[in-house]
Chain A
Amino acid sequence: MGKFLEKFPDPLARLIVVVVALAALGAFAYFVLIPKPVKDIEKQWADAIKREKARPVRYAGFQACEECHGEVQAKKKTGYHRDLSCETCHGPAKAHTEDPDKVKPTIPTARAFCPQCHAYNPSRPRGFPQINPVAHNPLKPCTSCHNPHDPKPPTTPKECSACHGEIARMKAVSHHVQLECTVCHEAPQQHKVSPRSVKPSKPQSREFCGKCHGRDAKEKLAANAPKINLAEHGEKYVCWQCHYPHSPEVEQ
């Protein structure tokens, strides 16, 4: 060994010794001292997956309640809340399925609970039933009129604004404030029961708006409405392709 190293200049020889020693030490540490799991990434991933899968479940799932609460499910299945999981309102219930007598899910009765979904909010989709929680039967708990498992209102709403809150509110501060929804839309009674399958009608032609806004309009209500020449105004488009009927803007 000494003979071999003598071939090299002194500093190089010493460095070779040091490097080889360090490499040997490193190799020993890596291959012998360090336990396999620390080096094996595939094993670490497999263990992580196992651990992840073993995490406790808190929500039992929409099918878990049927077994014991079949009658409630049957009632819910035909109502407006049929698409909701039980746990949407009752909170996580896995613990309840495991020990039904000791652990009970919450039964939300506070008035603040339902407006979390049903309070009026202009960002909510059109047609979603919304109320003003301050004005709508104040102080009464929601459940006194609405069965949460079949929440149809005690009486069929007369006003369209019950579900079409945004449109109603927009219209209320627009030029069309005096027009009832039924002036332009025919809503069969069935629409209030089964809104998605039976839709109200909508005007189809320019002449409809012309009944109030044409030059020769005869409607009493339209006495002060702006009048246009139906034949020339707005090229080939129907009126609502430019004007939003629920808040008809006019060029200033």
Chain B
Amino acid sequence: MNGRRSFLRGFLTVLLSGGTIGGILQILPSKADAREAPPKGQKWYGFGVSIEKCIGCARCMDACKNENNVPKEPFFVRTWVERYITRKNGQTTVKAIAPGDEATPEAASDRTILRSFFVPKLCNQCANPPCVQVCPVGATFQTKDGVVLVNEKTCIGCRYCIQACPYGARYLHPASHTADKCTFCYHRISQGQLPACVEVCPTQARVFGDLNAAASPMSRFLRMNKIHTLKPGLNTEPKVFYANLDGEVR
């Protein structure tokens, strides 16, 4: 009787502790995250935004809505452009621009402006995406080439991913009642074309390419500029890189 009891005790101990240790190891961030050399020829898409080139014309917003069936109302965007104005008193105000905005009141000279610029924003297609982590049904996932997609056939519309995105990149599509967001125009880039926003940008403020390519606009962008990402402290490892990003930008 004692032998059986002690055996059971030992067995349970091993089982429980093994299980606990295994469970803890599972949830710790794996060392093999996104830093391994990818197999030859494997694309890993990234995006570049040059702040000093953006003229805030909002043609990218138009093109995206045209290309991707995004509702035309201003409440749903896959990409948008913010306008920052820092005044001499240190206050910064931000506004999202809309295509067809009237010339602003600052059209006349405004001596109180210290710095002002436009910041295009879109889904950062994070390498460590918090949205993928929280999706209960696995409807949002990361493809092998680094694009985060939403499977609109299985999305249950719980909106957890929308809450988990630190960048406000996601919205619930009012027609399909599923989560939606920028896909880097996956249907275009799979055919070797550029995303619609990159296509129509008149000043080449937006750059797209394979981060693993040896020579591309992306590689030059990453070489020639001081690079920043949005909210790096959250460790989402965004793949949209900003050149000359001002510290006021969130």
Contact = CB atoms under 8 A, between A and B. Distances in A.
Direct A–B touching in the complex (beta carbon < 8 Å)?
yes
A115 B113 CA distance: 22
A62 B108 contact: no
Interface string B168-194: 000000000000000100111011011
Contacts of B83: 123
Interface size class of A (residues with CB under 8 A): 35 or more
B111 A52 contact: no
Contacts of A92: 63, 66-67
B91 interface: no
A122 B203 contact: no
B66 to A, nearest CB: 5
Interface size class of B (residues with CB under 8 A): 35 or more
Contacts of B53: 125
Contacts of B107: 119-121, 132
Contacts of A59: 63, 66-67, 188, 193, 196, 199-200
Contact of B55 (A44, A58, A128): A128
Contacts of B153: 44, 47-48, 51
A117 B188 contact: no
Nearest to B193: A61
Interface stretch (A168-176, A179-187, A197-205): A168-176
Interface stretch (B12-20, B96-104, B122-130, B219-227): B96-104
B104 to A, nearest CB: 6
Chain A residues touching B, majority SS: loop
B26 interface: no
Given A123-B84, A133-B103, A85 B67 contact: no
Interface string B88-119: 00000000000110011011111101001110
Contacts of A84: 202
A87 interface: yes
A194 interface: no
A49 interface: yes
Contacts of B108: 169
B59 interface: yes
B163 interface: no
Interface in A17-57: 41, 44-45, 47-49, 51-57
Contacts of A83: 202-204
15 contacts: A48-B154, A49-B149, A83-B203, A84-B202, A85-B200, A88-B200, A88-B202, A92-B63, A117-B59, A119-B107, A123-B116, A123-B117, A124-B118, A169-B109, A170-B111
Interface of A: 41, 44-45, 47-49, 51-59, 61-62, 81, 83-85, 87-88, 91-92, 115-117, 119-125, 128, 132-133, 169-170, 172-174, 247
